[in-house]
């Protein structure tokens, strides 16, 4: 778009004059305004996110996450989390668009109380061996690179049962979305803790095996019956798919953490993927509506986002705002690289807002500055 596009017939193009300015003042006194003063901003030609592309280095964040451990107790903080704040819109505690993310640390033997809220949550484990979560009475143990969900409205509490090392996991929530819609409720568990069922990882045992259980009560909730997606079978699935298919020109070999009953996203508002870039692979650029937060799960690479290069390695977190051109490359010539990501695509799709476009110039790659 050029400035000239906003001068076209059909766009607001009123020039200020003293009479108009006085008129705007009169309207403002009545808490009203003239649409044409803001029309081109509030209805842009294409999405104009305030969120900017960002990369947060794990190496830089990790010491500060550790620093929080003695500074606040889990009880005081509720959740001891260093959140990532997009500098383009600091007022909403969002990492990008309608998505929140943060690094939560739990010391050895520590546990947090149970609560539930409208915002849906997901976890991606960065480090530590003792992490557990109880989601609606189901205890799950999660290790590095495991993915787990806490759907909207489910009771949840977390802890670290290791006696030596802290757990650091990444929380992803749709808090900014819920708040934009003024739909958020929050409750503390009446007993402060849930009484978990006896079987650990019961949903993974029931639904995690490429077959669906028969003869059991039908699952009717609007989210996946699988609450945990361990790394090993996830990685194996990617390696297997890489043998069977080329994958996506924009994402390499990419798979969604699916609700096995619907084939759709695990939760109603947020989807999540794990993708594999073959050694040396560079994808083509595309853009789509919807925001994405990526975590480098394995290896090292570079992503070009809106023309800017972001080099990443394991643990780094970066974001792609809605409608920003992006492409990824594995910088290692002999090892594969994996990116975990989560997004707001289910919202975009269910509202009919999904759009996608390929970058066709320059051989499909963005020029970088
Ligand atoms: O685990 O419930 O990072 O409610 C932010 C808000 C984690 C959680 C966060 C939350 C949670």
For residue 121, the CA-to-ligand 1 centroid distance in Å is 7
pLDDT value at 2 more than 80: no
CA angle, 101 as apex, 99 and 106 as ends, to 5°?
155
Residue 210 CB: number of other CB atoms within 10 A? 8
Which residues have CB under 8 Å from 218's CB, separation 6+?
none
For residue 217, the CA-to-ligand 1 centroid distance in Å is 30
Domain count of the chain? 1
Q: Has residue 285 been placed in a domain?
A: yes
**What pLDDT, in 10s, does the model give residues 229-238?**
999 999 999 9
Res 187: pLDDT: 97
Which structural domain range is residue 282 located in?
54-364
Is the CB of residue 154 below 6 angstroms from any atom belonging to ligand 1? no
pTM: 0.97
Q: Has residue 17 been placed in a domain?
A: no
Q: Has residue 357 been placed in a domain?
A: yes
Which pLDDT band, with edges at 50, 70 and 90, does 356 fall under?
very high
Which pLDDT band, with edges at 50, 70 and 90, does 3 fall under?
low
**Residue of minimum CA distance from atom 9 in ligand 1:** 171
**What pLDDT, in 10s, does the model give residues 187-211?**
999 999 999 999 999 999 999 998 9
**What pLDDT, in 10s, does the model give residues 279-323?**
999 999 999 999 999 999 999 999 999 999 999 999 999 999 999
pLDDT value at 105 more than 90: yes
Which residues have CB under 8 Å from 120's CB, separation 6+?
149, 150, 151, 152, 173, 174, 223, 267, 268, 269, 270
pLDDT value at 4 more than 80: no
Is the CB of residue 171 below 6 angstroms from any atom belonging to ligand 1? yes
Res 65: pLDDT: 98
The domain spanning residue 79 has which CATH number?
A: 2.60.120.10
Q: Which atom of ligand 1 is nearest to the CA of 83?
A: 3
Q: Has residue 315 been placed in a domain?
A: yes
Is the CB of residue 79 below 6 angstroms from any atom belonging to ligand 1? yes
**Residue of minimum CA distance from atom 11 in ligand 1:** 79
For residue 40, the CA-to-ligand 1 centroid distance in Å is 36
For residue 171, the CA-to-ligand 1 centroid distance in Å is 7
Q: Has residue 47 been placed in a domain?
A: no
Res 244: pLDDT: 98
Res 75: pLDDT: 86
Q: Has residue 8 been placed in a domain?
A: no
Average pLDDT, the chain: 97
Res 35: pLDDT: 98
Q: What average pLDDT score do residues 241-258 get?
A: 98
Element (H, E) at 18: helix 18-29
Q: Has residue 44 been placed in a domain?
A: no
Q: Has residue 3 been placed in a domain?
A: no
Rounded distance, CA 345 to CA 348, Å? 5
pLDDT value at 174 more than 60: yes
Res 192: pLDDT: 96
Nearest to 98 by CA among 184, 201, 11, 7: 184
Q: Which atom of ligand 1 is nearest to the CA of 115?
A: 2
29-42 in b/e burial notation, b at 16+ Cβ within 10 A?
eeeeeeeeeeeeee
Backbone φ and ψ for 299, nearest 5 degrees, come out as 85, -160
pLDDT value at 1 more than 80: no
Res 134: pLDDT: 98
Q: Which residue out of 78, 79, 142, 270 has the highest number of ligand 1 atoms within 8 Å of its CB and is therefore the one to mutate?
A: 79
**What pLDDT, in 10s, does the model give residues 341-351?**
999 999 999 99
Collapsing DSSP to helix, strand or coil, 47 comes out as coil
């Amino acid at each position: 778009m050029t400035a000239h596009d906003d001068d076209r017939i059909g766009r607001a193009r009123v020039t200020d004059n003293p009479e108009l300015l006085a008129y705007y003042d009169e309207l403002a006194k009545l808490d009203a305004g003239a649409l044409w003063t803001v029309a081109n901003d509030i209805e842009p030609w294409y999405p104009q996110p305030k969120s900017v592309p960002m990369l947060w280095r794990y190496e830089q964040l990790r010491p500060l996450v550790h620093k929080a451990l003695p500074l606040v107790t889990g009880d005081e903080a509720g959740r001891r989390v260093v959140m990532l704040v997009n500098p383009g819109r600091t007022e909403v505690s969002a990492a990008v668009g309608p998505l929140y993310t943060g690094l939560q640390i739990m010391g050895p033997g520590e546990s947090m109380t149970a609560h539930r809220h409208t915002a849906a949550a997901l976890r991606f484990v960065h480090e530590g061996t003792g992490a557990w979560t109880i989601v609606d009475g189901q205890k799950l143990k999660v290790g590095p690179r495991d993915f787990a969900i806490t759907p909207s409205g489910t009771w949840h509490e977390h802890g670290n049962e290791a006696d030596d090392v802290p757990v650091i996991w990444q929380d992803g929530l749709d808090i900014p979305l819920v708040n934009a819609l003024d739909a958020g409720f929050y409750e503390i568990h009446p007993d402060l803790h849930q009484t978990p069922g006896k079987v650990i990882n019961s949903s993974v045992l029931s639904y995690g095996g490429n077959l669906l259980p028969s003869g059991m009560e039908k699952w009717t909730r609007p989210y996946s019956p699988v609450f945990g997606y361990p790394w090993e079978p996830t990685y194996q699935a990617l390696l297997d798919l890489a043998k069977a298919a080329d994958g996506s020109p924009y994402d390499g070999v990419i798979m969604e953490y699916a609700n096995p009953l619907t084939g759709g996203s695990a939760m109603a508002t947020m989807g999540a993927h794990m993708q594999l870039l073959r050694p040396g692979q560079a994808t083509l650029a595309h853009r789509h509506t919807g925001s994405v937060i990526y975590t480098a799960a394995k290896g090292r690479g570079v992503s070009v986002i809106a023309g800017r290069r972001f080099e990443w390695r394991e643990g780094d977190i970066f974001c792609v705002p809605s409608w920003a051109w992006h492409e990824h490359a594995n910088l290692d010539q002999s090892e594969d690289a994996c990116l975990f990501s989560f997004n707001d695509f289910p919202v975009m799709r269910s509202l009919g807002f999904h759009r996608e476009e390929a970058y066709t110039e320059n051989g499909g790659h963005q020029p970088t500055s």
